[in-house]
Amino acid sequence: MNMHVSIAGLELKNPVMTASGTFGFGLEFAPYGDLEALGGFVAKGISLKPREGNPMPRIAETPCGMLNAIGIQNPGVEAFVTQALPALKSKDVAVVANLYACDAAEFGELAGVLAGEEGVAALEVNVSCPNVKEGGVAFGQDPAQIARVTEAVRKKAGGKHVMVKLSPNVTDITVCARAAVDGGADSLSLINTLSGMAVDVRTGKPRIANVIAGLSGPAIKPVALRCVHQVVRAVDVPVIGIGGIASAEDALEFILVGAHAVQVGTANFLRPDFAFGLAGEMEKLLSEVGAESLEAFRGSLQLPL
């Protein structure tokens, strides 16, 4: 079966990508599989300047999920371009850079640095910075800000594909989706983590130093599916489904609901070779359920009348 997907100019040989922050800069997983088995790979979030991230403890396990408050620890965009990118360039896999900044101008600047980098196929804009200068509301929760940030990135992206990654921590995700499209997004990826926390009755302390953290993993899949379902019906740009995918069946659920592709995050921690075999398993399962093609299966969800 042909597993190739076209996402508004972003060509993937199969619909499986790995999600930002869960696959490092790609080479961490080299002993466990061939990066070229993936359709795409989203690098760890990068900012203009290096960031040390949050204090420890930063991660905690929860039933069927995990909490993380890494705080976008990263070596900065220069190091990404000079150290990580050269090794990735030669690989036949779409490399997506995940951008993190705290105001629209900084996002634009970051996009500008990457615009000329041949090895980068797309920019994924992470609009969930909690400490925004403008307005004081997290980007991801303010449609006007989402539009402004997307526009800033679009202007400086030098024609590169712009994917905007949406937060589920909002009342109506379709409003945010429309704002990103208005700002010029080529595609939308969703969802980022759900805001959560965990405490320890024995120590009387939060389990994460930052107190509030992001929930990911199979526990969030129903929320993610619902968001994708709503967004594919609200906008006409392609959507990439993210959230709790831990099997081929999970991945195809997102495609059935209308996603063009998926990103696998926390499941990469279940076993480090997980993502490499996923496209093959999706292909097998598509045949099993009698789908003619990936394209025919996409969005074929039968809703009650």
Summarize the annotated binding site for substrate as residue ranges: 44, 68-72, 126, 192-193
Interatomic CA distance for residues 288 and 297, integer angstroms:
12
Kindly identify the residues of this chain, within the stretch 225-264, that bind ligand FMN according to CB under 6 A: 242-245, 264
Interface segment toward another protein; rule CB under 8 A; list 83-91, 126-134, 183-191, 268-276: 268-276
Indicate whether 270 belongs to the interface with another protein (CB under 8 A). yes
- CB of 117 closer than 8 Å to CB of 92: no
Contacts to ligand FMN from residues 55-114, by CB under 6 A: 68, 70, 72, 98
Sheet holding 65-68, edge to edge: 59-62, 65-68, 213-216, 194-196
Q: What is d(CA 162, CA 102) in angstroms, rounded to the nearest whole number?
A: 18
115 binds, among ligand FMN, another protein, none (CB under 5 to 8 A by kind): none
Minimum CB distance to ligand FMN, residue 273 (Å): 16
Taking the least distance from each CB to ligand FMN, the nearer of 20 and 210 is 20
Task: From the candidates 64, 102, 129, 176, give the one annotated as an active-site residue.
Answer: 129
In the complex, minimum distance from the CB of residue 281 to another protein, in angstroms, rounded to a whole number: 10
Using CB under 8 A, pick the residue from 3, 8, 73, 226 that binds another protein.
73
168 binds ligand FMN (CB under 6 A): no
Cα dihedral sign, 269-272-273-275: positive
Task: Return all residues near 234 (Cβ < 8 A) that are at least 6 apart.
Answer: 174, 177, 178
Q: How far apart are CA 126 and CA 149, in angstroms?
A: 10
129 catalytic? Reply is: yes
Neighbours of 288 (CB within 10 A): 9
Q: Do residues 170 and 235 touch, judged by C-beta distance below 8 A?
A: no
Extract the annotated binding site for FMN: 20, 44-45, 98, 126, 165, 191, 217, 243-244, 265-266
Helices (H), the chain: 77-79, 85-89, 104-115, 143-156, 173-182, 221-234, 248-257, 267-270, 274-288, 294-297
φ/ψ (deg, to 5) at 266: -55, -30
- The residue within the footprint of ligand FMN, chosen from 141, 145, 187, 216 (CB under 6 A), is 216
- Structure tokens that stand for 155 in this block: 């202007």
When CB distances are held under 5 to 8 angstroms depending on the partner's kind, the choice from another protein, ligand FMN, none that residue 61 binds is: another protein
Q: Which of 9, 11, 28, 172 binds another protein (CB under 8 A)?
A: 28
- Whether 150 and 107 have beta carbons less than 8 Å apart is answered as no
Q: Name the residues that contact another protein, by CB under 8 A.
A: 21-24, 28-29, 31-34, 37, 44, 52-53, 56-61, 63-66, 68, 70, 73, 217-218, 246, 266, 268-273, 276-277, 280
Q: Name the residues that contact ligand FMN, by CB under 6 A.
A: 19-22, 44-45, 68, 70, 72, 98, 126, 165, 192-193, 216-217, 220, 242-245, 264-267
